[in-house]
Amino acid sequence: MTRAGEADAQAILAGRHPDPFGFLGLHEVDGALTVTVFRPGAERIEVLDAATGRRIVALAPVADAPGLFSGRAARRRKRFSYRLRLWQDGQSREEEDPYAFGPVLGEMDEYLIGEGTHYRLWQALGAHRMVHEGVDGTHFAVWAPNAARVSVVGDFNGWDGRIHPMRRRGATGVWEIFLPGIGEGAVYKYELLDRDWQLLPLKADPVGFGAEPPPRTASVVRDLRNPDWHDGAWMAGRAERNRIDRPISVYEVHLGSWRRVPDDGNRPLTYLEHARELVGYASEMGFTHIELLPVSEYPFDGSWGYQPIGLYAPTIRYGTPGEFRALVDACHRAGLGLILDWVPGHFPEDAHGLVRFDGTPLYEHADPREGWHPDWRTCVYNYGRTEVANFLISNAIYWLREHHVDGLRVDAVASMLYRDYSRKDGEWVPNIHGGRENLEAIAFLQHMNRAVYGDVEGVMTIAEESTAFPGVCTPTDRGGLGFGFKWNMGWMNDTLSYMKHDPIHRKYHHGQITFGLAYAFSENFVLPLSHDEVVHGKGSLLDRMPGQGAEKFANLRAYYGFMWGHPGKKLLFMGGEFAQGREWNHETSLDWHLLDIDLHRGVQALVRDLNRIYRETPALHRRDCRADGFEWVEADAAEESIFAWLRRGEEGDAPVLVVSNFTPLERSGRRIGVPEPGRWVEVLNTDAAEYAGGGRGNLGGVESEPVPASGRAHSLCLTLPPLSTLMFRLDRE
């Protein structure tokens, strides 16, 4: 071997060769075709003709380079296809040589990755089962522009990063290799050397489709080809179902604690079990959508998924990607949409994750004033970096396309929009104009929404945004962020604060109910009673109601009636639908045994009926996001803590009158004005006996009288039960 060859050999042995594909495999050396293979532990290696299986040459060990073998293919003048026969520990095996294969990625992949518009990034990067050049195996590709060397490691090579170093793909910073014979379920990581050739912690695949069960942290090869979908009818019609003038009532669920199996170690249900039990329950309860707390792979159960590591991998806690798809498919076949919580705002510092991925702050900002989140002690993505924005936007499209998800609720948008979010003076960096807005994050969110709505028909994006940032739901071509919907955090905070007050004091807080209507149509709002309202010492929703015993339940029922009658889409966290009494605990099941008690079963029956009435009554949803769909009838009855308003649909839809009485006093003979004479049918009464209420009401409906009230010529003479909400629909028939 020449002096140059000896230097190559030592570099391979040390795992520091700058171009392993230029040395290993089949090459012309000194005018002869030569095969060079590195297999530590091999006793001897032969090169076989791939077509005939005949031996071409026995490779000789290279002196002073244990594990390295090389040999000339005599009488071979043209490149040829070959296999290897290896002997190790007295056993022989045949395999393909990874260094005999050409690249998989093409120039267009490189161009789009560099441009930041590779909206199918997961089809280029990650681990893909495929047949390449006639051979079955897995293609691995990862972005690590500042690494000196990247290798795939796993059980298949003894976790030795010297054996399968990858091919660098030019200026894109992408590395790739095709490993023959690697199949579904193979466990792997990437071993990287930084620009100074220093070894980094082993990294999970940022675009990996599977992962080991925690606390193990490796990625797992998963085959996404040939999905078994049966939801064609849903997919064809979902654009109609997700419109802002359609009923949208969301059941928010944490898969790990919705229901557990006591007889099997108290484990959570699997995706397949949820496909039967959760889907059946949510459908029977009348919800239109299920929203899942994040299912992207995450290391720490206590984060509930909000500190993800594997953005492209459905968590293995409940099953494989194929089984997750079966859950989505079951939702669609039952007429339910599926929304995922999506977390592009931050990521944890776990060594196997994205932090300093190639030895540099690649995904995160280098400056902790920009790249570190003090609230969650996590890293912040560098949204201004083209490749990072592309990684995240492609991930959004991945869930919607590959897994047929119907929407993404984007977590912690407020923390993304402001550079000084939860930071003190001196702990944040102003933008180029000296302001606090994060211009890069704003541009990223706009880009994400344009890409999502432009790429996938019929889906929705929802912002969890708690500030008064303007134009969250305004189209991006008009300067907005481009979201479909926004959580109304102000409504949630104000109304829950109002409900916590003893009814005798509510008259002093009347504005907490009415204030929300001053801005209710500035965005396309979702009214969220989410998981955040039943944790961290806040107690359950039932717990936050004043009074004792049945009075607590009456308050909660009245509040739910008020919520479903209020403009805005609905969201309720699991357990709230049957008035779970304790604060949510992610480590245990919901308290389903409470349904043996009439009061809890009554709340469940109420929520079921609220969903049905909401779906069936156009006036309650068609103009949810329009000011002309709402009209106050009585907004100033503070002394009585009474609120009355009208909901209207399109022309020809019967109007609905909603009345809430938030005192424990029955109001008999209370006149409420109506816009049209006729019979007004009592379609809902939260005090009804079937909801474990007192059974007081208006005998199914009331005929209007030409008696002026509430500024209108006609009125209803009503009985308003204590702590109740009633809905009346004009019967035009």
Phi/psi zone of residue 17: left (φ > 0), alpha (ψ -120 to 50 degrees), beta?
beta
53 contact partners, CB below 8 Å, separation of at least 6 = 83
Calpha distance 691→156 (Å, rounded): 61
Q: Which residues does residue 296 pair with via DSSP β-bridges, in sequence order?
A: 314
**Catalytic-labelled residue, pool 464, 624, 682, 687:** 464
Please give the DSSP secondary-structure letter assigned to residue 682. E
Please give the DSSP secondary-structure letter assigned to residue 198. P
DSSP β-ladder status, 44-49 and 32-38: unpaired
C-alpha of 317 from chain center: 15
Give the number of other Cβ atoms within 10 Å of residue 127's Cβ. Answer: 24
673 contact partners, CB below 8 Å, separation of at least 6 = 633, 634, 708, 709, 710, 711, 712, 713, 714, 715
329 is catalytic: no
Calpha distance 439→419 (Å, rounded): 9
Q: Which residues does residue 59 pair with via DSSP β-bridges, in sequence order?
A: 45
Nearest to 303 by CA among 312, 315, 291, 289: 315
C-alpha of 181 from chain center: 33
Calpha distance 524→532 (Å, rounded): 21
Nearest to 377 by CA among 440, 315, 302, 318: 302
Query: What's at 721, amino acid-wise?
Result: P
Calpha distance 63→69 (Å, rounded): 9
Nearest to 534 by CA among 478, 580, 593, 489: 580
464 is catalytic: yes
How large is the C-alpha radius of gyration of the chain? 31
DSSP result, 261-294: EGGGTTEEPPHHHHHHHHHHHHHHTT-SEEEESP
**Catalytic-labelled residue, pool 252, 411, 440, 523:** 411
Q: For the CA atoms of 327, 331, 334, 335, what is the dihedral angle to 10 degrees? A: -160
Give the catalytic positions in this structure.
411, 464
